[in-house]
Every structure is written in structure tokens, then in C-alpha cells.
Amino acid sequence: MSVLVLGGAGYIGSHAVYQLIDQGENVVVIDSLETGHKQAVHPNATFYEGDIRNIDFLRGVFQKESIASVVHFAANSLVGESMEDPLKYFDNNVYGTQVLLRVMVEHDVKSIVFSSTAATYGEPEAVPITETMPTNPANAYGETKLTMEKLMKWTEQAHGIKYVSLRYFNVAGARETGEIGEDHRPETHLVPIILQAALGQRSHITIFGEDYDTADGTCVRDYVHVEDLIQAHLLALDYLNGGGKSDIFNLGSNQGFSVKEMIDTARQVTGKEIPVMPGDRRAGDPSVLIASSEKAKNILGWQPARTSITKIMEDAWHWHVARPNGYVEGADNK
């Protein structure tokens, strides 16, 4: 039997595939390679290139492979792009998940671990954010993820497919052994942008707003190491296979760091100057997002071990130094 990882060539999905294979699982990967990278797919995984909205393609994979459970990362995930082209996001994310669930029903596959986001909450009423707080997405991306959660809820009622939805806060870092890491094109995330500036690939990093109601005026986020994050997925699979009920969990480190603190950490880790420029606020950015992950710790037994921001930055830096152009040699990765 195999675990099917959808989006296994992406940043977070590829780390899941590596850890599943470390654990001795047989892994089947599906990725459209629209944003993923073929080189990020573990050489021992069985890889199918294709789009999950194509039901015949998906049925073909489920017919050929013996799938025990599913881990679903395949989605578009850029907040800004989702505001410009919400229909692309509903089509790929929501409709894609609808097709996936249809094929899971047909093949009697009963468990799915699902990649969700803190963006389902919108601007929080208070921090740390717990799973019982209201969901009110401030962008189309977050709305699609919330809708995908609801698709799973109703599919469970009708067909008994159990799900765990994991709401990520700010994922960063890279696999410690350095084979895989973060490579988005275009890059919009803070940590890789800071490190590209440290490498001299960018002249500077622009700070999006210095007038927030925070200690130093810049936005505060909860950064979680990608390897810790993936361990929660493996625990969630065990939990579902052990008869656990469908549920939703936040994944963060329960601590907030400002944009300026992240840049200072990167200066210490890299020994580089990292020039900064002040910029305007970015539309839709909440000032402070910090997770409570007590529920994941209590119910799944999650024990994040890499919560130091220095450790997260060091692992990301090793990846960027080893692969300054990411997976595509000579390409512009800005």
C-alpha cells in the first residue's frame, strides 16, 4: 500500500515525501509541475505528472496504484495572485479537491491529511489563535482553503472519508541534509527574499510597513520549521489510521517575530549586511499572527523540535548557499 502525495514536487509537499520515505513508506507523487519542480521529487517516489482536475488522469493513478491514504498539498497559494484572479484559485484549489474526493470515494480511500492555512482566520480577534476562533478570510486564497475544509466535512458525512486539516502559519527552513528547500517563482516569502538579498541576488529587502501597532512597527508572524510541520502530517496519518476523528489543527511555534527581528537574525546567521528599504504596507497583511498549537500537541502528540528562529534561518541559508539558483540552474529566481 502507498501514501499518495498530491503536490509532492512543491516546497512543503517535497519535504513530506522525503520524511515518508525516511519512515519506510511507499510514496506515489502527483504534481502538475505548474509551480513544483521535478528535481524536488524524491528519486524513490513513483511520480505522475498531471492535473488533479483531470478526473481520467486521477482515476488512472488510483487504478494503477494501491493507495491507502492521501496527503493533499496541491494548490495555488499566493495571496496577492488570489485577489487578482480568484477564479483561478477556486478552480484549481476547490474544484481540484472536489475531483480528488470524488475519486477517493470511487476507490474507497478513507483518509486524507490536508494542507490548510492561517489565512482562514483573517484578521484575528486575539492571539494566540486557537482553532475555535471565528474564520473570516481576508483574501480569496484563504477562502478557497476554508471551502476545501467544508468540502471534506460534508464528504465525510456522506461517504465516511476521515480528514485532518492542518492550518499552517509561516512555514520556513529546509531539510537539514540540504537536498530540498524553498524555490518559488516568483518568490514572495520573507525568509527566501531576505536570504536572496544576503546572497547579493537582490539589492535590498523592502519592509512592507513600519507603522503597525507592534513593538518595532513591523508585522509579527509565527515561523514554523518545514521539517517540524511535516512531522505533524505523519502524526496526523497515524492518528487517522488509528481511528481518530476528523479534526482541524493549527501548526505554528506559538511565538512571534517581527520582520525586523527576522532580518537581524539573518544578519547574524549569514554574516552579511542585508540592506533594507522602507516600503508601504502590503494590502491584506494582518499586523500580528501567532498560533496556539496546543491542540496539535495534545491530540496528535506533536513535538516541534526546531522552534528556534536561528535554526530555521540556518537551514534555509544552507539551502540557499548550496543552490543559489534553486532547482533551475541559471534561471532568474526572483
Would you name the residues annotated as active-site residues?
141
Crossing angle for the helix pair 309-322 and 190-198, nearest 10 degrees? 60
Residues that bind ligand UFG (CB under 6 A): 77, 79, 117-119, 141, 170, 188-190, 193, 205-208, 219, 221, 259, 282, 285, 289
Q: Which is nearer to ligand UFG, 157 or 215 (CB)?
A: 215
Q: How many CB atoms lie within 10 A of CB 36?
A: 24
Min CB(264)–ligand UFG separation in Å: 14
Q: Which is nearer to ligand UFG, 256 or 304 (CB)?
A: 256
Q: Which residues of 176-199 are buried (b: 16+ CB within 10 A; e: fewer)?
A: eeebbbbbbeebeebbbbbbbbbb
Min CB(265)–ligand UFG separation in Å: 13
Q: Which is nearer to ligand UFG, 252 or 304 (CB)?
A: 252
Do residues 143 and 137 make contact, with C-beta atoms less than 8 angstroms apart?
Answer: yes
Crossing angle for the helix pair 96-106 and 140-159, nearest 10 degrees? 20
Q: Which is nearer to ligand UFG, 46 or 188 (CB)?
A: 188
Min CB(230)–ligand UFG separation in Å: 16
CA distance 94 to 88: 10
- The dihedral built from the CA positions of residue 133, 136, 140 and 144, taken in this order, carries a sign that is positive
Min CB(311)–ligand UFG separation in Å: 18
CA distance 126 to 109: 38
